[in-house]
Structure 1
Amino acid sequence: MVNSSRSHIYPALDKSSSKIRLIHLQPRSRGDKITCRLCIADLNDDDLKYEALSYEWGEKDTSRIILVNGEEFPVRENLWWALTYLREDNAERVFWIDALCIDQSDERERNHQVSLMTQVYSRASRVVAWLGKDGQDDLMQVAKFIDILEEESELNDLVKDDEARGFLPHFLPSVGPRSTTAASFWSVPVNMLNGSAPRRLNEDDHRRGWEAWDNICHRSYWSRLWILQELILAGILVLRCGNVELDRESTHRIFDRTRTQRPPSSEPKPDRLAQDGLDYSSHSVIPLRIHQRRTRMFLNPDRPGNTFTTLVGQFLIYRKAQCADVRDRIFGLLGISPQCCRDNIPVDYGISTIDLALSVIAHDEFEHQSFRSGSFSSKLRADSYIKYLGCTNDAHRVIAAIEATDGPLWPPFGSPEEEQELWRRHDSSVVTFIQAGQLVLQFPERYTDQQNESMEIGMAGKEIVRDNMFVRHRSRSGFH
């Protein structure tokens, strides 16, 4: 009989500390049933070693039973399969897994532990991205594909080397000095390649490799909001499908190759954001975006806070990502937001959605003014914020909170439908810039008879009003 209350199996945590629980996954040799034990650990312990699991929770009504501290414990289907494949034959593995390590029935503990997730994932020795029990053939194909791509790359580097160019004419007299592609040098002696002949990929190999990667990228795992901080913060990241694991180097390489070598017709462009945020139906967009963020963060290890987009900015970019609790659209992005956002917006699952929305606005308007910057109108930004945070019934309160700091939001250019169409087009549909002491607004011809409207900016004036259009100047963030 499964005990409906889980609290009795959890060792108590000091909620004012950096203490967490870790799951010790017992080896298969202990029996067929998945067995774990929970232990308390301190994130400040320099000797602490554990892996963190990133996975998709899945449906509530699918559950299996494992043993935790000797008690039967229900887990969802996907986690059960992850534990089944991740446990070793004869050695235990130590993991941080949110569904097991946090007492989900204790709201105060949940608040505390979620606020530590930035440290949990950045401190882990590895983060394992569990993509599901299926897809092993695809991941194996990707591993082989990336290995051969690397061999081709190494050969290209070799033939471009000055010393290699000196050898090649002796073996390939017909090859001119400018023929430096890998395809020209397959008859290079094996001793020149440290004893191993290079493999090459033909067109079908490339197609199969990219198709396998596309299959991986189309898995529902990538639609989860929480994976953003889980993977971006990972020091070492590996991908796992069933028994097949793509190691750290190969994972980095396939992400990087997606950015640099995909056929132009299919290459995703995550930085060209549509009005509705990232297109979660487009292959590779989320994995590539995560890779770009990881790269940016690790290139600036001493300034991690400055490498992150504002919390509101990220909310707007990733607002189509999936999460069970709408408040996680905020809490799930705090770990990859600037430090000021983390300091001023505490994780609190007792707060109402509207109060959370207003709290975020109060901080953002003071520090960032995210609603009044970017490639589409502040009104559309506010509309998206209201819609995706589930505050439609309190829209007037959200708008009032934004306008209380900076005045009215940018009004529509004609009807709402025309405004939507205007900003749905290109980022440069409307260009605002400073020229010779003037604020110049350029409008597309189809929206106004006069394309360029100029307004003198007085040295003492901070606000200009023209035809009910407000343009406000702020010294910290330029014109809005």
Structure 2
Amino acid sequence: MHYANKSFPFPPLPPSVDAIRVLTITPGDFSDPLVCTLDPVAFSQKPKYVALSYTWGSSYPDNADLPFYPQWPTPVLTVNNEPFSVKHNLHLALLHLRSSIHPLSVWADAICINQADTAERNSQVALMSFIYTRAVKVVAWLGAGNYPASSASNRFRTMSLEWKAGRTKQIAASLMHPHHTYGTRLWMVQEICLPRLLIFAYGSEMWDHKALQSWGIFDHNQGFSSMRQLLETREKRHSNMMTLSSLIERFKRSQCLELRDRVFGLLGCANDVRASVMQNDEEDADVLQTYLDQLAAGMKPIGNPRNASGFGSVRVDYARSFYDIWINVVTSAYFQAANLRIFNGDEIMLNERQIGIVRTAGIV
């Protein structure tokens, strides 16, 4: 995989603590180049930031050829006094969210994670549930809107005028005082389901997700079927539909660039497993084998393997083989079914769960 910013000097994350990098966008006018700083911060410092949810390319086909300002025709930011390339859609989002008065603190995966560092990607993906639940709010960027065909300068001027009159530039101030394809990306599952406050931004306007739901915007528009599914999942995020097996089946048609994300991208939402970066697979296997041996002997197992280090978890490691991840997921699903036999005794539920294991194994 090619990384455009492989040589960028990412400031190191503090060791031995849960931490992220936060991008701070300097205030400016819509036509000003985006100038930012990128700083590491530990969660113990209680950082205030907006987490950005967006698509990789263009959320609308019409956005793909929206112009950039003539002085900077390509989507490049200045980060810590260094050039930093981003995709078109992310650049448009940052332009619309920037304030003309206040600095804006943002977490965006393409900038805040060193994508060329596999070990860092592993650890940051394992923290993804914290990143979205601890954000002051999550802004779901739906696109820059539709603009009539005209010259590049006129279209850019129209965007600029709408930004000046719109509300997205107010996001930074809120931190000071505590047919599109958006919903089809697999990472959207946790980006929509986990945050305490979810805001939708479209061009220069923004709305609370509850307001959009109350207006029925997602109800009858076929283009929003994926978003309806995400919001339904959000409403039931504390129910049994949030097991890893259920999530894998429910979102099996969602898109992802990295195939391992079909599992890793759902861990933050799963309520029966956790993301882990632990490396000691042999210890996990020993704990599991002891547990299975006790089950086979008709004994009630001593202790709960889910509480053993690394068991009841899926290890996030982009160097893992697909088969290794498959074994991890199926083992976790098997444990959940076995746990029902010991502690619940509901044979109907057990049979359903065992059938679910087969489905999950096939999908993964």
Normalized against structure 1, the TM-score is what?
Answer: 0.52
Q: State the alpha-carbon separation in 1 of the partners of residues 243 and 131 from structure 2.
A: 21
Q: Does 2:203 correspond to 1:239? A: no
Q: Which residue in 2 is equivalent to 1:128?
A: 139
1:338-358 deviation digits (Å, cap 9, x = unpaired): 143445102111101111011
Provide the identity percentage.
30
2:83 pairs, out of 65, 69, 72, with 72
* Conserved 8 A contact 2:13-2:41: no
Q: State the alpha-carbon separation in 2 of the partners of residues 308 and 44 from structure 1.
A: 31
Q: State the alpha-carbon separation in 2 of the partners of residues 235 and 18 from structure 1.
A: 20
Task: For 2:36, give the aligned amino acid.
Answer: C
1:4, CA displacement in angstroms?
A: 5.7
Task: For 1:93, give the aligned amino acid.
Answer: L
Q: Does 2:285 correspond to 1:286? A: no
Structure 1 pair 345/4, CA: closer, same or farther in 2 (3 Å)?
closer
1:381 pairs, out of 350, 355, 359, with 359
1:311 pairs, out of 241, 244, 252, with 244
Q: State the alpha-carbon separation in 2 of the partners of residues 53 and 33 from structure 1.
A: 19
Q: CA RMSD in A?
A: 3.2
Could you tell me which runs of 5 or more consecutive residues in structure 2 were left unpaired when the two chains were aligned: 59-63, 66-73, 149-178, 276-311, 339-348
2:106 pairs, out of 95, 110, 120, with 95
Q: State the alpha-carbon separation in 2 of the partners of residues 24 and 112 from structure 1.
A: 22
Task: For 2:330, give the aligned amino acid.
Answer: I
Q: Which residue in 1 is equivalent to 2:20?
A: 20
1:225-280 deviation digits (Å, cap 9, x = unpaired): 1011011111111111111112x2xx203224549x95xxx59xxxxxxxxxxxxx
Specify the SS of the correspondent of 2:75.
strand
* Conserved 8 A contact 2:24-2:104: yes
Greater relative contact order, per chain length (Cα 8 Å cut-off, separation 6+): 2
Task: For 1:325, give the aligned amino acid.
Answer: E
Q: Which residue in 1 is equivalent to 2:49?
A: 50
Q: State the alpha-carbon separation in 2 of the partners of residues 296 and 314 from structure 1.
A: 12
Structure 1 pair 95/307, CA: closer, same or farther in 2 (3 Å)?
farther
Q: Which residue in 1 is equivalent to 2:126?
A: 115
Q: State the alpha-carbon separation in 2 of the partners of residues 257 and 243 from structure 1.
A: 19
Structure 1 pair 317/360, CA: closer, same or farther in 2 (3 Å)?
same
Structure 1 pair 371/223, CA: closer, same or farther in 2 (3 Å)?
farther
Q: Does 2:289 correspond to 1:331? A: no
* Conserved 8 A contact 2:20-2:124: yes
1:13-32 deviation digits (Å, cap 9, x = unpaired): 13531111000011115972
Task: For 2:18, give the aligned amino acid.
Answer: S
* Conserved 8 A contact 1:135-1:241: no
Q: State the alpha-carbon separation in 2 of the partners of residues 364 and 15 from structure 1.
A: 32
1:106 pairs, out of 117, 128, 146, with 117
* Conserved 8 A contact 2:244-2:273: no
Q: State the alpha-carbon separation in 1 of the partners of residues 29 and 92 from structure 2.
A: 17
Task: For 1:360, give the aligned amino acid.
Answer: V
Q: Does 2:309 correspond to 1:347? A: no
Q: State the alpha-carbon separation in 1 of the partners of residues 320 and 200 from structure 2.
A: 35
Structure 1 pair 231/379, CA: closer, same or farther in 2 (3 Å)?
closer
Q: Which residue in 1 is equivalent to 2:213?
A: 255
Q: State the alpha-carbon separation in 2 of the partners of residues 136 and 234 from structure 1.
A: 31
Q: State the alpha-carbon separation in 1 of the partners of residues 227 and 88 from structure 2.
A: 24
1:44, CA displacement in angstroms?
A: 2.5
Q: State the alpha-carbon separation in 2 of the partners of residues 11 and 232 from structure 1.
A: 30
* Conserved 8 A contact 1:51-1:95: yes
Q: Which residue in 2 is equivalent to 1:147?
A: none
Q: State the alpha-carbon separation in 1 of the partners of residues 193 and 356 from structure 2.
A: 28
Alignment of 1:60-209 (within 5 A): 64-135=75-146
Q: Which residue in 1 is equivalent to 2:36?
A: 36
* Conserved 8 A contact 1:311-1:341: no
Q: State the alpha-carbon separation in 2 of the partners of residues 319 and 8 from structure 1.
A: 35
Which deviates further from its counterpart, 316-325 or 81-90? Answer: 81-90
Could you tell me which runs of 5 or more consecutive residues in structure 1 were left unpaired when the two chains were aligned: 138-217, 268-281, 298-303, 390-480
Normalized against structure 2, the TM-score is what?
Answer: 0.67
Specify the SS of the correspondent of 2:268.
helix
1:296, CA displacement in angstroms?
A: 3.2
Structure 1 pair 41/27, CA: closer, same or farther in 2 (3 Å)?
same
Q: State the alpha-carbon separation in 2 of the partners of residues 5 and 341 from structure 1.
A: 30
* Conserved 8 A contact 2:122-2:317: yes
Specify the SS of the correspondent of 1:354.
helix
Structure possessing the higher radius of gyration over alpha carbons: 1
1:293, CA displacement in angstroms?
A: 2.9
Q: Which residue in 1 is equivalent to 2:253?
A: 320
1:440-464 deviation digits (Å, cap 9, x = unpaired): xxxxxxxxxxxxxxxxxxxxxxxxx
Structure 1 pair 256/358, CA: closer, same or farther in 2 (3 Å)?
farther
Pairs aligned (count): 273
1:113-163 deviation digits (Å, cap 9, x = unpaired): 1111101111111100001112599xxxxxxxxxxxxxxxxxxxxxxxxxx
Specify the SS of the correspondent of 2:212.
helix
